[in-house]
A and B are shown apart, each in its own frame.
Chain A
Amino acid sequence: MSTEDRRALEQEFDALTARIGAIVPADRKAGVVACCEELRRMTALVHGPRSPAVEPANIYSLKPTRARS
């Protein structure tokens, strides 16, 4: 990640934490941003072209049930 991209990521993190009201301990921030950078690299890998059949709806296993009388 370039210095500019890293600075942009840090600004994005600052804006987000300000919006949600999180107070980030100053001595921990650089480590959080470094992990955000790692995560951003990983996130790029999950955004790929996929078949329409690949979608996460299979997390449910619903069985028909009768309404209570």
Chain B
Amino acid sequence: MSAREPLHELSIAEAGARLRAGTLTSTALTQHALNRVAALDPVLNAFLLVTKERALADAERADRELKSGIDKGPMHGIPHALKDIYETAGIRTTCHSKLMLDHVPKEDGTAAAKLAAGGAVLLGKLATHEFAIGGPSFDLPFPPARNPWNRDHFSGGSSSGSGAAVASGMVRTAMGSDTGGSIRSPAAYCGIVGLKPTYGRVSRRGVFPLSYTLDHCGPLSWSVEDAALTMQVVSGHDPLDPASADVPVPDFAAELGSDLAGLRLAYPRSFFVGVDGISPEVIAGVDQAVQYLARLGATVAEIKLPDFELFNACGRVILTAEAYTVHEENLIKRGGDYARLTYQRMMPGAMVSAADLIQALRMRRELHDAVARVLETHDAIVTVNALAPAIRLDAFPADATLRTPGHTIPFNVTGHPALAVPTGFAKSGLPIGLQIVGRPFDEPTVLRIGAAYESVAQWTAKRPQLELKMAG
């Protein structure tokens, strides 16, 4: 192993194989990652806190364990980072907010605990939109993350730091959360993979809630395989999360590498073509990807879904009401301590009536059933993710809007698993992508389709050129 070897380019599986073969140490891998964080983060703002001592101690422990034959699974000795809404014992967890600056949890949330028990190395806590909703904002104690492909641009949100950290090769995988698209949007804008698992697949315990019935936890990763291996560690029933599903955990990587023969894919092209703000480059990217998937053996059929505006209205009414419920006391007493955008997006929740919310819940059932009907005769749905490449950070208006430029919220409303995969780059050089939506708890099929496309399209092999001085 040379001192200059680009260890960040090793996949989790490749790094794991070398750790087990004794040709790489977790300490070297972790020190390399810390060097990249030190070199890159001053201009990307992905990290709110770097836990260097903890990381090196975790890495040394992993080296000792692996040397003595203790193998804790696919993330053993692998560096990762957590969106700063994941509670971490003894480590400040701020939700990127002035209101939580001094919050140091006493225990890990379930996903953080599972990663620790699996021997993963925690590098630190990542930027988010405030409370996973209010951003990008410049009136917070920390600046917003920037897009590694062009630092003048947004990295997506709300898992903005997770997207920037993975795309820049600081970590191969990072945990995010997704209430209306907050894993899939940064994945699309940063040219990486993001998985919003089925509702109930990954415990939300110890992850600060935005919307109880729409929140999902999942990974943002460099490749589909990296996402699958992360899922292997964080998934599973948690009796302490009331929404956690008591279902078996599959081998998420088992079907990676299979072709798509026999799979039936639904393509709801009319769902997104012609909507306001969609980029022709994004449409062309999805069209081309669908052609690739057909060449890989899948049968593709155009289908119709209910109008996106119905999903969006249903999701936004529920999200706004639930977010207001979570923050009610502070919004009333300390409204000025929230960022401008957070406050403006949350406060309208006070105006949602009981009848509004219950009608939205009834509509949710209808919309879920409409997607479920499509998936009775198809193995997955392939559709658009973000409608256009990331916009400039300085192009955001000063005041908030509830609308986000992506087609992600439908699958928070229905709870189906949805995988974000890159489909290439716009002429501007910024990434674009799609999403693959599967049946409940059938993440292996979604990952199989994503991996097959990734292997022929090779978009994740291209990384941003970050010409920065690296220490060590």
Contacts and interface: CB of A to CB of B under 8 A. Distances in A.
B365 A42 contact: no
B352 interface: yes
B343 A32 contact: yes
A28 to B, nearest CB: 6
Given A34-B399, A35-B345, A43-B352, A54 B366 contact: yes
Nearest to A48: B363
Contacts of B402: 35, 38-39, 42
A38 B351 CA distance: 12
B340 interface: yes
Tell me whether chain B's interface is mostly helix, strand or loop, or mixed.
helix
B309 A45 contact: yes
A39 B316 contact: yes
Interface string A27-60: 0101110111011111101111010001110110
What is the interface of chain A mostly: helix, strand, loop, or mixed?
A: helix
Nearest to A47: B359
Given A39-B348, A39-B352, A56-B362, A46 B400 contact: no
Contact of A46 (B347, B356, B398, B403): B356
B383 interface: no
Contacts of B401: 34-35, 38
A64 interface: no
Contacts of B320: 39
Interface in A1-48: 12-13, 16-17, 20-25, 28, 30-32, 34-36, 38-43, 45-48
Contacts of A56: 358, 361-362, 364-365
Range for the number of chain A residues in contact with chain B? 20 to 34
B347 A35 contact: yes
Nearest to A25: B336
Which 5 pairs, one residue from A and one from B, show the smallest C-beta to C-beta distance? A31-B399, A56-B361, A42-B313, A45-B313, A31-B344
Interface of A: 12-13, 16-17, 20-25, 28, 30-32, 34-36, 38-43, 45-48, 50, 54-56, 58-59
Given A31-B398, A47-B356, 19 more contacts: A16-B350, A22-B335, A31-B399, A31-B400, A34-B401, A35-B400, A36-B351, A38-B402, A39-B348, A42-B312, A42-B316, A46-B359, A46-B360, A47-B359, A48-B359, A48-B363, A56-B364, A56-B365, A59-B213
21 contacts: A22-B335, A32-B348, A34-B344, A34-B401, A35-B347, A35-B400, A35-B402, A39-B316, A39-B320, A39-B348, A40-B351, A41-B313, A42-B312, A42-B313, A42-B402, A43-B317, A45-B309, A48-B359, A50-B366, A55-B362, A59-B361
